[in-house]
């Protein structure tokens, strides 16, 4: 795996030989951003991600998959850096682009909506986040099945939201469904299944059982 120093050198070389807006330069910049992100250097990562988004918009257009991929990464960095309102705007752009390209019921679109719901909840709009998650879960279950991994992930997110806002019984029921679905589809020793069981056990303790 390349080091940050090596990726910085690669970006500099591609800028010099190919230009700032060349596809290969932008790819190298995004690789560098990912490495910086992994090292906890989020502000630097976001600067490169912003440059990649701008470059890919100019090169491919706003709705191109590579542009949307970069936008999604930028949204994560922006949210991690505490600017949730800006992260929401970026995620809404990703959702709109994926809907236009793939439709409302595509897996990538539904994953993006699930991510957006988390940001909406973090901004304090529990009602809207709940509606988004409920709609997402219904579509995922209809298209991919009740035990699909993305369906269970979204159901777990809704359980956490309901628990946070005091709807303990509904949240517990959802979390039971998540834990049961993961046990049946992945096995009891799967990390996600074990984590779901841990969450469920914590809920039981708080409920006094």
- pLDDT in the model for residue 75: 97
Instruction: Show me where the domains of the chain are located.
Output: 1-102, 127-209
Report domain 127-209's class: mainly alpha
- pLDDT in the model for residue 2: 81
What mean pLDDT is predicted for residues 111-123? 96
- pLDDT in the model for residue 1: 73
Q: What CA–CA distance (Å, rounded) separates 140 from 156?
A: 13
pLDDT tens profile 30-76 = 999 999 999 999 999 999 999 999 999 999 999 999 999 999 999 99
Residue 27 has pLDDT above 90, yes or no: yes
- pLDDT in the model for residue 105: 96
In the predicted model, what is the mean pLDDT of the chain?
95
Residue 208 has pLDDT above 90, yes or no: no
- pLDDT in the model for residue 207: 85
Q: What is the CATH number of domain 1-102?
A: 1.25.40.10
pLDDT tens profile 143-191 = 999 999 999 999 999 999 999 999 999 999 999 999 999 999 999 899 9
pLDDT tens profile 70-106 = 999 999 999 999 999 999 999 999 999 999 999 999 9
- pLDDT in the model for residue 102: 94
The DSSP string of the chain is ---HHHHHHHHHHHHHHT-TT-HHHHHHHHHHHHHHHHTT-HHHHHHHHHHHHHHHHHHH-TTSHHHHHHHHHHHHHHHHTT-HHHHHHHHHHHHHHHHHHH-TTSHHHHHHHHHHHHHHHHTT-HHHHHHHHHHHHHHHHHHH-TT-HHHHHHHHHHHHHHHHTT-HHHHHHHHHHHHHHHHHHH-TTSHHHHHHHHHHHHHHHHHT-
Residue 11 Cα distances to 21, 57, 121, 154, angstroms: 11, 19, 37, 37
């Amino acid at each position: 795996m390349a080091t940050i120093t090596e990726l910085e050198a690669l970006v500099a070389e591609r800028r010099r030989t190919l230009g700032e807006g060349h596809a290969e330069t932008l790819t190298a910049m995004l690789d560098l951003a990912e490495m910086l992100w992994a090292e906890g250097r989020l502000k630097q990562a976001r600067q490169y991600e912003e440059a990649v988004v701008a470059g890919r918009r100019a090169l491919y257009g706003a709705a191109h998959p590579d542009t949307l991929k970069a936008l999604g990464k930028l949204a994560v960095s922006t949210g991690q850096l505490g600017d949730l309102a800006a992260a929401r705007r970026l995620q809404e752009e990703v959702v709109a682009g994926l809907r236009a390209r793939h439709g409302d019921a595509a897996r990538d679109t539904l994953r993006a909506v699930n991510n957006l719901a988390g940001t909406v909840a973090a901004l304090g709009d529990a009602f809207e986040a709940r509606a988004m998650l409920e709609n997402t879960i219904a579509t995922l279950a209809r298209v991919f099945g009740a035990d699909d991994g993305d369906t269970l992930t979204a159901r777990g997110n809704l359980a956490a939201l309901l628990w946070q806002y005091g709807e303990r019984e509904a949240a517990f029921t959802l979390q039971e469904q998540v834990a049961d679905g993961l046990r049946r589809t992945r096995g009891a020793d799967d990390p996600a299944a074990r984590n779901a069981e841990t969450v469920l056990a914590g809920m039981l303790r708080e409920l006094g059982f």
